[in-house]
Amino acid sequence: MMTLGALASRLTPLLRLMDEEAAHALSLRALQAGLAGRQRTPDPPRLAVRAMGLSFPNPIGLAAGFDKDARAVLPLLRLGFGCVEAGTVTLRPQPGNPRPRLFRLPQHRAVINRLGFNNEGLDRYLARLKDAGPRPACFGANVGINKQGADPERDYPALVAAVTPYADYVTINVSSPNTPGLRDLQGEARLRGILRAIAREVPVRPPVVVKIAPDLSDDGLAAVVDAAGAEGAAGLIISNTTIARPPELGGLNALQVGGLSGAPLFARSTEMLRRARRIAGERLVLIGCGGIRTGADVLAKIQAGASLVQLYTEFAYAGPALVGRLKAELAEALDAGGFAVVGDAVGVSA
């Protein structure tokens, strides 16, 4: 008998016949209604990870962007993710950029978005977290600043303070290409100022990680690593979407403005992860994100230096059954590589 998750994944291709944002909204409603199924058996202990003082049943997380308003955190966790990150949430609601702003590139298993932090604001986000109930795995809150009227050294601490009672860790997003000036906050002085303000204003807080862009120069990456390590960040997410366009990228939507995610980002983000590991050593926990499609891809990120990984685009293409498949493939890849547990593979190719 087919499980709900497998059925949902079989139906996922039909969503690609719809407008991208309408399909995404329908997916969230189906999750809220419990139509995507749930994991029935616990993960094997060899997949468990200990990072940032937290325990993860497996290293595979859902990246921010899929559930911006924390509408389906519990149903998503029940699919078997080791962690789910919701957001990016801003202090005040904002509509984001004009539509259309989300574009599929199915031949490349990729997406281009220029959403612009569209979300319902912090108050509604917190209200949903209050009602979510006990969670079977870790939850990360991803926070960012509004397009207008923002003061990063004021707003990021306020956001961190607000989500602290509900989040196992907090991600500060300073790398979306769709909010003017946001990526400037990755500069060493600005990033240090934000992290110092968070430490000063929120002395008791969950681990804070910084999500960075794959388009940083080598010197820029080194500066971010140094700033994060010196100012109390627990880790880095490598990486957000890219504004670069690989030469092989083709199709009707390839020249759309926005951030590119999915399979074409895999090599670029993994090499950046490897460089960050060489610079940071074990000072920071690294979370690998960008282009994951298979269990072998998960292991490649881990071998490059990641303790945890995140995905989004392939989940949108493949549906809920992807989570179980990735974990089974990861176990097979660990066997093939001679690794007893996930932790044995972290950074071996860095």
Q: What's the pLDDT tens digit per position in 33-59?
A: 989 999 999 999 999 999 999 999 999
pLDDT at 11: 55
* Residue 18 clears pLDDT 90, i.e. is over it: no
The verdict on residue 74 lying in a domain is yes
The pLDDT > 70 percentage for the chain reads 95
Task: Write out pLDDT tens, residues 173-193.
Answer: 999 999 999 999 999 999 999
In a domain, 112, yes or no: yes
Is the pLDDT reported for residue 337 higher than 70?
yes
Residue 97: domain span? 4-345
Q: What is the pLDDT of residue 14?
A: 64
Which pLDDT value is given to residue 331? 98
270: left (phi over 0), alpha (psi -120 to 50) or beta: alpha
Average pLDDT, the chain: 94
CATH number at residue 135: 3.20.20.70
> Would you say residue 350 lies in a domain?
no
Per the structure, the count of domains in the chain is 1
3-9 average pLDDT score = 54
In this prediction, residue 2 carries a pLDDT of 45
**160 within some domain:** yes
Which of 27, 175, 176, 261 is an active site residue? 176
Look up 269 and say whether it is catalytic. Answer: no
Residue 130 has pLDDT above 50, yes or no: yes
* Confidence bin at 252 (pLDDT 50/70/90): confident
Let me know how long the chain is.
350
Whether the pTM exceeds 0.85: the reply is: yes
Q: Is the pLDDT of residue 1 over 50?
A: no
